[in-house]
Structure 1
């Protein structure tokens, strides 16, 4: 990871929501631990009542959305540093690969590492790796996100 420019982690839910375009009940990130221009470390404690929790477990779509929102949080913080007043809207353009190793239980704490591979205009190619609170690999992905300009 390149140099972290955060003086301290952002753990306040209100502040996190200001940095992403998603709004409750569809928020799948709750913390920004580290940020550099090309990398980030984000977190999420999975609420029992999350709309993507099924039978007590965070679903595959939930994991994928968490990884995408981790990228959104990265982009939102970058926008904040650049002086933007609100976060840019974006979406998953394509998923080259995703591998889910297991479904974490509701209440689990996820940590996701994003690494920007390339950016071309409004398309960002990013890899993500999500671990549980014990460091066990939950999922990996290689996706393209598109920012609406």
Structure 2
């Protein structure tokens, strides 16, 4: 399966207008990357600038895309819903503007039962916009398609 052919909506529990990733660009057991183009009609954009809190949501949805890929294409089951359990050491160096392309990468630091700890980085071009550690907790139920 080529990642560029996957409809991101199939991997995420979120729905429009709250989708913060456009495409899954890389996946392996330890690392996942997504791409997102900042658009003027985004809920988090005001006066052409995206709010910093949207970067945390973009990181979380990259985690969701990873989980969705694992569930759908590896485990062959419906996607699971996850929740942000904690955000630690978040540093935002700049907020993206309309038209910027965000490249978000998460690296799994540790996974124990239904908790996953990741290190996340959001970049636009060569500029790092934000970094953080996130703890993602999985809900016990599987979302129906």
TM-score for both structures, normalised by structure 1: 0.89
Q: Which residue of 1 aligns with 2:130?
A: 139
> Which runs of 4 or more aligned residues in structure 1 lie more than 4 Å from their structure 2 counterparts after TM superposition?
none
Higher strand share goes to which structure? 2
Q: Which residue of 1 aligns with 2:101?
A: 109
Q: Indicate how the Cα distance of structure 1 residues 104 and 11 shifts in structure 2: closer, same or farther if over 3 A, else same.
A: farther
Report the secondary structure of 1:89's partner residue: strand
Gaps of 5+ in 2: 141-145
How many pairs align?
139
Matched, 1:82 2:68: no
Q: CA-atom RMSD, angstroms?
A: 1.2
Gaps of 5+ in 1: 1-6
CA deviation map 1:45-93 (0-9, x unaligned): 1111000112211111111100110111011101112101x31111110
- Structure 1 CA distance for aligned equivalents of residues 3 and 119 of structure 2: 21
TM-score for both structures, normalised by structure 2: 0.91
